[in-house]
């Protein structure tokens, strides 16, 4: 899977030694996606990939990643584990749409003007509209 965005936070490098005596390191970053509703995603590079992919705040990147979940003491934790990074990726832009100029009402065809001034007839087999109580009594609404 891939995600595009801009690096907004670089967290401190974490290092340690496993139970088997092997050294490990993990570098975590926070990426903010492009678009109308940007999302923040924390991901990490683990092991030698942490050295190979040094990112800085402000870098625009495409990250290739895998999701990994594990259980610990009855709780589940999910990691976004990055395995590749491409720098300098511009956000995908929306296709350009030419604006359409509104037509004045005077140039609309006559049948449309006449039709828009008349109320639409109700369907013959449509159920009646519900009747609402306009009183100020408490409890007449379900919420």
Question: CATH number for the domain including 54?
Answer: 2.40.50.140
CA angle 135, 137, 141 (to 5 degrees): 90
By residue range, what is the domain housing residue 24?
Answer: 2-87
Give the model confidence (pLDDT) of 74-130 as tens digits: 999 999 999 999 998 766 554 344 444 555 555 555 555 545 555 555 555 655 555
Q: What is the pTM of this model?
A: 0.61
Structure tokens at 57: 């705040």
Give a yes or no: residue 53 inside a domain: yes
Q: How many domains are contained in the chain?
A: 1
Give a yes or no: residue 107 inside a domain: no
Closest residue by Cα to residue 31 from 59, 66, 53, 52: 59
Give a yes or no: residue 12 inside a domain: yes
Give a yes or no: residue 30 inside a domain: yes
Give a yes or no: residue 52 inside a domain: yes
Give a yes or no: residue 118 inside a domain: no
pLDDT at 126: 53
Closest residue by Cα to residue 34 from 62, 56, 4, 64: 4
């Amino acid at each position: 899977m891939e995600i595009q965005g801009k690096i907004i936070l670089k967290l401190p490098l974490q290092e340690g030694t496993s139970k088997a005596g092997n050294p490990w390191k993990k570098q975590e970053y926070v990426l903010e996606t492009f678009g109308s509703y940007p999302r923040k995603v924390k991901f990490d590079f683990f092991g030698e990939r942490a050295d190979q992919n040094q990112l800085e705040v402000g870098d625009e990147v495409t990250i290739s990643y895998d999701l990994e979940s594990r259980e610990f003491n009855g709780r589940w934790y999910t990691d976004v584990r990055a395995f590749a990074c491409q720098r300098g990726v511009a956000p995908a832009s929306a296709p350009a749409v030419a604006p359409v100029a509104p037509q004045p009402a005077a140039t609309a065809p006559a049948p449309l003007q006449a039709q828009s001034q008349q109320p639409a007839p109700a369907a013959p087999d449509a159920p009646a509209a519900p009747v609402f109580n306009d009183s100020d009594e408490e409890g007449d609404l379900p919420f």
